Amino acid sequence: MKGSSSSSEVKAPVFDGKNYDFWRIRMTTIFKSYDLWDMVQHGYELPEMEIDALEEDLTETQLKTLKQNQMEDARALGIIQGAVSDTIFPRISNEDIAYGAWEVLQQEYIGDTKVRKVKLQSLRRDFEYTRMRENEMIKDYFTRLFDVVNKMKTYGEELPNERIVQKLLISLTKPYDSIVSVIKKTKDTETLSVQDVMASLRAFDQRLERHADFALEKAFQSLNVGSGNQASVSNQKPQWKGKNKKWEGKGLHNSRPN
C-alpha cells in the first residue's frame, strides 16, 4: 500500500546543517521507497469546497482520498522532522505539511528558484565540458563526473540514462577508443545502462594495466639480459692485437719460417 510501513524501516540520516546535498539525495530515495516523494514535492490539493463545511459535504470517495492524503502527508512530515537535528528543527517547527517543511530547507540551503536556476546552469556547463584527463585513473574520472551529475540532481535536474552513457563514451582519453568503438558497434546505447558501460570500461582498464605490467616486466628482463651479454663480452680477451701484430687464436700454434 502506498505510504505503508514495512517490517524493515529505512533509517533516515540526520541533517545538522552540513552536506545538505548528500542528505537531500538520501532523503529523496527514502521518500521514493515509501511512494511519498510526490507528496513532498507538490503536496496535495484540497477539494474545491468551503473549508468549514469540508468533511460533511464530501462524498465518501472524496473523504477517503482526503484522509489518505492527510495520512501520507503526516507520514512524510514526520520523516522530515525526525531527520533533522535539534538545532535545525526550529526552522521547520511551524510547518504543518511536508511540502512546506521541505521547501523551507530547500530555500535556506540551496536557494530560491532564481538562485537554483543559476547554479543549475553552471552545473550544466560543467557537465558538458567535463573530460577525462591524461593519466587520470578511470575510477577517479567516474567520481568527478558523477559528482556533477549528483549536484544537478540536487538542484532538480535528473539526467536521462542515455545522456550519461553518451557522455561517458565521448569524454574518455585515446587509450579507450577501442573499447568505446566495440560498445557502440555491439550495444544499443539508447537502452544500455550506465552501470553496464562503467563495468565494461573498468574491465578494459584492468586489461590495460595487466598489459602495461607485462611490458614493464619484459623491459626489465631485456635490460638484465643485455647487461649480462656486455659482461661476457668484456671478459673475453681480444683475438687481434692490431696492425702488424700476431694473431693469437685459441688452439692455434704460431708458425715460424724455416
Range of the domain at 154: 113-209
> In angstroms, rounded to a whole number, what is the distance separating the alpha carbons of residues 128 and 171?
9
131 and 105 share a domain?
no
Q: Which three cell numbers stand for residue 62?
A: 472524496
Alpha-carbon distance values, 33 to 24, 26, 68, 70 (Å): 14, 11, 17, 18
Task: For residue range 89-116, list pLDDT tens digits in order.
Answer: 999 999 999 999 999 998 888 877 778 7
Q: Which three cell numbers stand for residue 170?
A: 565521448
- Number of structural domains (the chain) is 2
Task: For residue range 171-212, list pLDDT tens digits in order.
Answer: 999 999 999 999 999 999 889 999 999 999 999 999 888 766
232 is a domain residue = no
Task: For residue range 143-169, list pLDDT tens digits in order.
Answer: 999 999 988 887 778 899 999 999 999
Which of 28-32, 113-117, 241-245 shows the highest mean pLDDT?
28-32
Residue 117: predicted pLDDT: 85
Does an H or E element contain 221, and which? helix 194-235
> In angstroms, rounded to a whole number, what is the distance separating the alpha carbons of residues 41 and 29?
13
120 and 133 share a domain?
yes
Residue 166: predicted pLDDT: 95
- Give the pLDDT mean for 44-55: 62
Residue 6: predicted pLDDT: 46
Query: How many other CB atoms sit within 10 Å of the CB of residue 38?
Result: 14
Domain edge (last residue) among 68, 92, 109:
109
Domain edge (last residue) among 187, 209, 231:
209
